[in-house]
Structure 1
């Protein structure tokens, strides 16, 4: 690894760590579950991307870079799919809880008449 590529790889890792830290702080500061999910998906997308860029620069080998690219594609695809599945489950849970509250309040109101 040459000095310039090593320096760029180091900068990429530091930038990745900084963005992951910002995402983690956002995760802790968000009040709503959907907002926390957004911050978590940021970390899940940025961290592997920055690490893959840094590793590709550090190794500077075609086979290693291809392996890293495959890893990155899988990581980014599963992050989006997982985030969507969690958001959908959360939405369905909120809808079911709302329907349950409405049904139980209707039952109580019907019993009093």
Structure 2
């Protein structure tokens, strides 16, 4: 949440990432020279990912697309064979059907 507190009143889920960003800025920059703050790009990227989950969402979309593509490439691989249909008792089992009907 924007206030820094989580839903249950404790620290938010991204607070540790924010602490890493602040620590990086404190160590790598000074009021006179701000060029050291460029070293904090990875920590800042982790913090943004924790907030917005953009990379995670992109990965999920890519995996879903690949799964759909593989499913549509061979839709009839798991189709039942003629033997499977016969084993259901619908075709070629006339003697079993007669036994069931006669009893």
User: Given the two structures, how large is their TM-score scaled by the length of structure 2?
Assistant: 0.36
User: Given the two structures, how large is their TM-score scaled by the length of structure 1?
Assistant: 0.34
RCO (CA 8 Å, sep 6+): is it higher in 1 or 2?
A: 1
